[in-house]
Amino acid sequence: MDHFLYKNGHLHAEDVPLRDIAASVGTPFYCYSSATLKRHFALFTEALSPLPHLVCFAVKANSNVAVLKLLGDLGAGMDVVSGGEYLRAKAAGVPGERIVFSGVGKTREEMGLALGGGVRQFNVESEPELEALSEVATTMGIEAPIALRLNPDVDAKTHDKISTGRKEDKFGIPIARASEIYARAAQLPGIRVVGIDMHIGSQLTDLAPFEAAYTKMADLTRQLRAEGHFIERLDLGGGLGIPYTRSNEAPPLPSDYGAMIHRVLGDLGCEIEIEPGRLIAGNAGLLVSQVIYRKAGDEREFLIIDAAMNDLMRPAMYAAHHDIVPVSEPAPGDDIAPVDIVGPVCESGDTFARQRDMPLLVAGDLVAFRSAGAYGAVMASEYNSRPLIPEVLVNEDQFAVIRPRPGFDEMIARDRIPDWM
């Protein structure tokens, strides 16, 4: 469920007409619903309520500081994968004891940043990282809490580019080596083992891969405890999918996910950490764009809009589907025809949809891309020297720009011409 509905013939974000935002900030822009973000976070906290838990928002899904503050004020932790994301979480007022630092390539500088500012735990992905963290923590006179990220060799049955739990993937330590590496961690100065971490992929629409991985985690918890390790937390990662179409996708509900976690892991007495991003933010956001031209080709028509692949990368990168709807509600019986919906970037890959049935839109009409709140703005670039687009947060009948569109002068001023030129 989201809070983007047609009212009086116009698509609204909560109680704000999207056309009013477009008139104020221009197009294209991202728009997020506070009510939807709050509701989706609550679904996870309710699903895990029988167990001690912390729901950590995956900052990589949407790193706007206003969004992080909204969730942090509700009690969310943050799962970060870079020093920049760590600083964004801190800027949003999230304390270090609610920040989990993940990622396969943490630098010593990032380790020192998090140790100095406070961190709940590092999810360590390799032996070299473990050794480096020990050195940094010992130099600082600090103990680093860690969970080892273990690769369970479970196929998440999702897109190849977002599968992370197979043995051929770059993530984690092979589960067969868990005893060896945990024994090494226990011997290292500056390291305190607190748990186990697993994350097998993103946009999962079936609970079976999760259950297979968590069953291995449960067995390993018992084994490591028998070997003398104190395992108090189980970090289950994120990855629960969302419905990108309104018809044929039906991912599991957070309540079903929580029930499975309770059944598989509930008797271990561990605190459960989960790191959802897409399910909290995905359907809480839209990308709104304006039609520039309607162009007739030899064999098809093109709807050329002012959003492009640099604004929303997912269709070009993953062949991802987004429902695209007119901001003005079509009347019953309006003509519908297939069009290719494309952007102005100078690449054929700048195509959002092929032969998508749409009303007969013309220049100046507005369209909205649904399910764009996750991995939209965070993956955007300035390719073709196109400015990053605004982000807007709606709360009931109010809206605010939470990231403004930079001007061309601001973009160009970041470049430097050497003195010798």
Which are the catalytic amino acids?
Answer: 346
DSSP symbol at 219: H
What the block records as the tokens of 132 is 């480096």
For residue 139, CA distances in Å to 95, 96, 181, 203 come to 23, 20, 22, 40
Whether the Cβ atoms of residue 60 and residue 70 lie closer than 8 Å to each other: no
269's CB contacts (< 8 A; 6+ apart) are none
What the block records as the tokens of 110 is 């990032």
Give the pairing of strands 285-296 and 301-305: antiparallel
What angle do helix axes 83-91 and 65-73 make, rounded to 10 degrees?
60
